[in-house]
Structure 1
């Protein structure tokens, strides 16, 4: 169970840029070595940029995207994104240590997603959790966790939910919860009651569509893991994220049909 660092985290911006620049390069048919020549560098530099381990300047973005024959509007978007990376960043992200490297790409994509569809099996999904329920979830996973870290994680999860009410374009969220998530008591009956009331309230948002898959559904197909489908309209990217107790998998990103 992991939480999202602040959405302005430079690490997130670098990862998002890397994802998109690699996709553009591959679509244009260039190798990393050819791209490196355009920047007067070596292939490892392109590899580090595309993996989110090295920052890239707006000028370098424009050079690469021009090489890849990228439409001007998207060049400008990516260059502006690169300009948001601070030249000096002494403050560490609040949850950098709590978020493993393999999960960073998911966070970068989620923060910029325009549409998200997900199915949750065992618990209420993080975007719809109350503070008390979120705390109960975190403690259920790690009962001996440092209370100060748990407090910061809860606050970060609440900030993650800002995508639901951001202006001018809140995320379009479609959630299907297994009925098990509504019956499984986390924390206490009082916490669950508060959580269920919150679900009712948040389901009234015009951009949130909430459904429950009942136990008694005769035609239902059993899905044993959490599934998340994200679409980033401006970047023309879509991706699928699968999660279970054994592993977490982010399927390949790419331009596919809009949701």
Structure 2
């Protein structure tokens, strides 16, 4: 192989790391396989016929979806593309093995709605998470009781056990920011109106704001940046739905955008549209108050709530 092809066909730059989650390993392997296949100029259908599987299987494999016999098919596809180095093939198989592990959301069973699963599966691998939330405190920063109220409001008929499971999954997402190895950074923007919107009893929001202050002054203060968009921003910055943008350190993982609606979500990947949403969040961040003013805003609102409490 030439130096150029060696760079394209090597996956050793992506080290198997369980804390990144299974989905990241599947996607990294899939993207590597796609690059190898297109690098030798064959179609997915031709590749499938050559390695004894179906075109849809190769397509799912390259997208990073779960498939049967992933390691077997990945090895066969790499050999088809001219990869014969035994260490290279072994490395690919080790990544495939990590991709077969449960995704992060699976610990909570069927309580996690289908459209949230891709986000929960991929965010542990993010180097940076950028988020805009117009209605609520960002999910990673919610207290358990606040999360319960939000989930109950959206799904009033949900059994208590499922509400608990979803709330637990939501607040446990903060754990990844405490990791010693490859912790993500969070840049979150929320509307000022969120702090004034009633959430159950007045004490719920009071404790939620206390928690935000604790996070922004504690061990995570260098990993979490919270911006509050003032009401004066008006319609200029209005976005009617939450946006989450994930950026990864590994070149094999393309940007991922999660766009949530009332009863569903849309996921966007790669360049182009994902970049457009990143630019939108960056614009909102620039229009919002600087992060170094957030503590003052939270403390002022806490004082207002304390004064109004009976």
In the superposition, the TM-score normalised over structure 2's length comes to 0.66
> How far is 1:252 from its partner?
2.4
> How far is 1:17 from its partner?
4.6
Larger Rg: 2
Instruction: Verify: 1:127 aligned to 2:140, yes or no.
Output: yes
Distance change (3 Å), C-alpha of 1:55 and 1:236: same
Equivalence for 1:82: 96
Equivalence for 1:248: 265
Instruction: Verify: 1:216 aligned to 2:232, yes or no.
Output: yes
Task: Note if contact 1:17-1:52 (Cα within 8 Å) is conserved in structure 2.
Answer: no
Distance change (3 Å), C-alpha of 1:44 and 1:220: closer
> How far is 1:117 from its partner?
0.5
| Partner Cα separation in structure 2 for residue 51 and residue 112 of structure 1 | 14
Distance change (3 Å), C-alpha of 1:227 and 1:85: closer
> How far is 1:173 from its partner?
0.5
Q: 1:6-45 alignment to 2 at 5 Å?
A: 13=22, 15-27=23-35, 28-29=37-38, 30-37=42-49, 39-45=51-57
Task: Note if contact 1:109-1:232 (Cα within 8 Å) is conserved in structure 2.
Answer: no
Distance change (3 Å), C-alpha of 1:68 and 1:18: farther
| Partner Cα separation in structure 2 for residue 37 and residue 186 of structure 1 | 57
Equivalence for 2:128: 115
Equivalence for 1:152: 165
The one-character-per-residue Cα deviations of 1:76-130 (angstroms, maximum 9, x if unpaired) are 765333223569x9xx934342334444332222121111001100001111111
Q: Which has the higher contact order (CA 8 A, sep 6+)?
A: 1
| Partner Cα separation in structure 1 for residue 82 and residue 140 of structure 2 | 37
Task: Note if contact 1:16-1:52 (Cα within 8 Å) is conserved in structure 2.
Answer: no
Q: Which residue, out of 96, 105, 109, partners 2:118?
A: 105
> How far is 1:131 from its partner?
0.8
Q: How many residues are matched? A: 245
> How far is 1:139 from its partner?
1.0
Instruction: Verify: 1:206 aligned to 2:222, yes or no.
Output: yes
Equivalence for 2:256: 239
Residue ranges of structure 2 left out of the alignment (5+ in a row): 1-17, 280-310
Task: Note if contact 1:164-1:170 (Cα within 8 Å) is conserved in structure 2.
Answer: yes
